[in-house]
Amino acid sequence: DFDKYDLSSVRVITYGAAGCPYEVLKKTIERFPGRALINAFGGTETSSTIAALRAEDQIITGKESEAEREKKLKRLATSIGLPMDDVEIQVRDEEGRGLPTGQIGEIVAKGPRIMKGYWKDEEKTKKAFTPDGWYRTGDLGYKDEEGYIYLTGRGDDVIVRGGENIGPDEVESVLSTHPKIEEAAVIGVKDVEWGQQVRAIVRLKKGETATEPEIIDFCRLRLAGFKRPSSVVFVTEELPKTTTGKILRRSLRQKYGET
């Protein structure tokens, strides 16, 4: 449909609320070379954006090395970027302690654009902030060695396998790069030995076929061992979503979460 319109004036493309599928990003970049793609993170309580990708992270010109291109594509697909200049963001554990690079915890934020509280609701306000005044976003994620922030899911979506936290967003991002997969989601299922295992719910592209071992082997090369799906459920219907397009993992857990 792009060819029906004159899109030469498009300079910036924004997306948010959830990660953008890898294949969609690649097609967008091919169709709009040199344009800025911005993934913004924030909410009503934070006066909109509190983190975003920088201009140099957003633009892929085609002159980058393959490694640099893949690095940028990964960030575009999965990272919410760096904190805005007037915002501090930390990743904390359940005890409120800051976590080192790569470890998943709750994302908390502080700065002048954060709300003071909910109108006439002291109890809700108290729950929304840490004892030392940081706003609790309710989102889980981690920082890489350069300070870029990656969302891994909401608190109740995180899978805990053998004491390790696994963010569904990261696994889903890898699955979305499989050439046969139209869409995918992951959930945790109970496991006697490990507590939980990762289960992938996969809808293939029209006319494609794949096997469970094929999908697991694909992930084997791209994810740490404890993050790889141990089982795959293939579905033909579109995955359930909210009105804004976010996958309803809770519905999937109810339907496919049995061991």
What percent of the chain lies above the pLDDT cut of 70?
96
The overall longest dimension of the chain from CA atoms, in Å, is 58
Out of 38-47, 68-77, 93-102, 223-232, pick the least confident. 68-77
**Where among 129, 153, 177 does a domain terminate?**
153
Please check whether residue 2 lies inside any domain of the structure: no
Same-domain status, 191 and 163: yes
**Where among 28, 63, 83 does a domain terminate?**
83
Please check whether residue 5 lies inside any domain of the structure: no
Q: How far apart are CA 188 and CA 157, in angstroms?
A: 8
**Where among 83, 110, 127 does a domain terminate?**
83
User: Residue 46: in which H helix or E strand, if any?
Assistant: none
Q: How far apart are CA 21 and CA 215, in angstroms?
A: 17
Q: For residue range 153-194, what is the model confidence (pLDDT) as tens digits?
A: 777 788 888 878 888 888 999 999 999 999 999 999 988 888
What's the alpha-carbon Rg for the chain, to the nearest Å?
A: 19
Domain that holds residue 126: 88-153
pLDDT at 9 over 60: yes
pLDDT at 2 over 80: no
Please check whether residue 76 lies inside any domain of the structure: yes
CATH code of the domain covering residue 142: 2.30.38.10
Same-domain status, 76 and 38: yes
Q: How far apart are CA 49 and CA 140, in angstroms?
A: 17
Please check whether residue 109 lies inside any domain of the structure: yes
Residues 6+ apart with CB under 8 A from 209: 180
pLDDT band of 259, cuts 50, 70, 90: low
Same-domain status, 77 and 95: no
CATH code of the domain covering residue 31: 3.40.50.980
Q: What pairs with residue 135 in β-bridges? A: 109, 129
Amino acid at 258: E
What letter would DSSP give residue 62?
S
Residue 55: predicted pLDDT: 66
Same-domain status, 183 and 127: no
pLDDT higher at 251 or 63: 251
* Sign of CA pseudo-dihedral 213, 215, 218, 223: negative
Task: For residue 19, give the nearest of 75, 59, 89 by alpha carbon.
Answer: 75
Q: How far apart are CA 232 and CA 80, in angstroms?
A: 28
Please state whether the predicted TM-score (pTM) of the whole model is above 0.85: no
User: Based on the structure, what is the number of domains in the chain?
Assistant: 3
Average the pLDDT over 76-102 and give the result: 90
Please check whether residue 3 lies inside any domain of the structure: no
